[in-house]
Chains A and B, each alone.
Chain A
Amino acid sequence: MGALGKPIILMVAMYAFLKFGLPNIPGSAPLPSSLIFLYLLLTAGGIFMFETVSGESKDAFWGPIQRFLTGENIGGLQALRYGVFILFPLLVGWQTYGSTAVSDLPPTESRTIHPAPPGEYTGLSNPVPKTPDNIMQGKGFYAAYCSPCHGGNFDGKGPAARGFIPAPANFADPTTIAMLQESYLFWRIKKGGVGLPIEGAPWKSAMPRWEVELPDEWIWKIILGEYDGAHQSPRTWE
């Protein structure tokens, strides 16, 4: 039976790693079950090739499996053998049911949070000088137009934020404006939710199209105010 122990331990360890280990590595994400299944299949294939590479190892690998399945001289494992025989068809049935049953879950949505801006909004630099005066003015505009949703503390928790999906961006979070250029913010503020490309699910965003109401200069000042208030700096390329 020894020849089977290692492959089984390896398979279980591989599954545990893919399912629970890998998502915890910084920058990683949970794997879809189909991918886990594929990786396990490849692992199993590798084990199979390794174990059947010579006649001797092949016997050592298949022998225990055969003995287990036929039930010859396996003593205490007999109950387990019957258990496997009962479980296997049930598992097959269950899998089949799962793959044919109509899902009760709504369609999955994948939304790109920071989609690429149109060409004319890449690489613009802020024409408004970063002076204490302009920053203060920007913060004033921010308080009037942005803070109801994005919050007085720049944390996306304004009084009107609740209920909007997607939630208003939290500027204090290092994954929002800190990883974007001022040019990008200018585009997002100017065009709002409806200016997003299809991968940004523009039909859901409540972000106003501020170009209708605010002059460009105010928008640039708001950007200064936002970075300053959220204690972040724009992304640069050097």
Chain B
Amino acid sequence: MKPANRIMKRVLRDGTAAIAAMIIGGASLGYAQESVSVRATLLTGGVPVDDPSAAVWSSAPPATFPMSPQVHWQNRIQEVTVKDISVRALHDGTQVAVLVEYSDPTQDPDDAAALEFMVGDKKAHFAHGQPMLQVEGGPVNIWFWKNKTGKAIDMSAKGFGTLKPQEHQDVTAKGVYSNGTWKVVFSRKLLTGHADEDVQITAGQFMSISFAVWDGRKDAVGELVEKGSQKAVSSWWYFRADAPPDYSGYMYAAIAAALGLGFQFVLIRKLKKGQ
């Protein structure tokens, strides 16, 4: 009995350690990944809709995404200035603000940036919702900012050549340039009354977002290098506005643990009674 006891002890101890190690290993795997989504942090009080430098931005975790030259359709471009952008977002349950940051060596009047969202439930191609041959796609909603005008245009597109400003302009934007870095904040209400052309942002839900940036520099003969479809683009990534904190998970866990405890008591009492 004694040696068996000892073996048993060792097996149980090593087994527990191994299982714990696997659980910890598995859990950490889930978090070790590059940015795939922008998380809009929930805050109380107003969001800094026209202040890209507000201190409260530091409470939103930055997500970094790689940018590529637009090569999908004509006119293409092979090289672009902006290689990465950093994105933060905040919301207060009514208003959402998205801060885009990227380095650009020079400030030019034609510097511009844009956010793109899928509208509704249908998937849309990241290039302006270009029609897909085997899948029925949806439209995209584009929030476009240009340094020269200093404001945003709320636009819709469903395919090339269909990009146009909307009748209802719901988006504001403000850009601040300093030390070789653009900080542009886009803002809008989470929900607008126009679900067929505007993205509707529901807290807690993942939606698709992509980015575009134009460096408004000119070449030796005074022509814009990046303009129109010649721009830096990103693939689709995810965007989610944080839902209000939900503590019900802890309550369910406590109830389950209490039930587990109760089950143990009953079981052992029955066993001791010789059932």
Contact = CB atoms under 8 A, between A and B. Distances in A.
A binds B: yes
Interface in A54-75: 64, 66, 69-70, 74-75
A129 B240 CA distance: 53
Contacts of A76: 5, 9
Of A77, A89, A192, A203, most B-chain CB atoms within 10 Å: A203
Contacts of B271: 66, 69-70
Interface string A207-231: 1110001000000000000000000
A69 B267 contact: yes
A199 B236 CA distance: 16
Given A89-B260, A193-B72, A204-B235, A100 B252 contact: yes
Give the secondary structure class of A's interface: helix
A195 interface: yes
B55 interface: no
A94 B18 CA distance: 18
A9, A90, A96 pick with most chain B CB within 10 angstroms: A96
B79 A213 contact: no
B4 A1 contact: yes
A80 B253 CA distance: 24
A4 B13 CA distance: 14
Given A106-B206, A160-B78, A9 B256 contact: no
B258 interface: yes
A63 to B, nearest CB: 11
Contacts of B267: 69
Interface stretch (A44-52, A130-138, A161-169, A170-178): A161-169
Contacts of A2: 4, 7-8
A70 B268 contact: yes
Interface in A95-151: 95-97, 100-102, 105-107, 118, 148-149
Contacts of A37: none
A12 B4 contact: no
Interface string A18-53: 010000000000000100000000000000000000
A203 B123 contact: yes
B126 A90 contact: no
A69 B135 contact: no
A8 B134 contact: no
A95 B259 CA distance: 13
Interface residues of B, number: 69
Contact of A203 (B36, B65, B132, B250): B132
A133 B9 CA distance: 75
Given A94-B253, A102-B243, A202-B132, A163 B12 contact: no
B41 interface: no
A62 B68 CA distance: 64
A102 B206 CA distance: 12
A191 interface: yes
A101 B130 CA distance: 37
Contact of B249 (A33, A97, A207): A97
Contact of A8 (B12, B126, B240): B12
Interface residues of A, number: 64
B66 A163 contact: yes
B206 A160 contact: no
Contact of B15 (A8, A105, A106, A204): A8
A149 B233 CA distance: 14
Contact of B135 (A93, A160, A197): A197
Nearest to A67: B271
A33 B131 CA distance: 38
B22 A19 contact: yes
Contacts of B261: 89
B250 to A, nearest CB: 7
Given A193-B72, A194-B125, A202-B134, A101 B8 contact: no
A120 B172 CA distance: 49
B89 interface: no
B37 interface: yes
A97 B74 contact: no
A208 B73 contact: yes
B137 interface: yes
Given A70-B268, A92-B257, A97-B250, 18 more contacts: A80-B13, A91-B260, A93-B260, A96-B256, A100-B248, A101-B249, A106-B206, A159-B78, A164-B235, A193-B125, A196-B134, A196-B135, A202-B125, A203-B125, A203-B137, A204-B235, A207-B72, A208-B71
8 contacts: A1-B5, A8-B12, A12-B18, A70-B272, A74-B5, A100-B248, A195-B134, A198-B134
Interface of A: 1-2, 4-5, 8-9, 12, 15-16, 19, 33, 64, 66, 69-70, 74-77, 80, 85, 88-97, 100-102, 105-107, 118, 148-149, 159-165, 191-198, 201-204, 206-209, 213
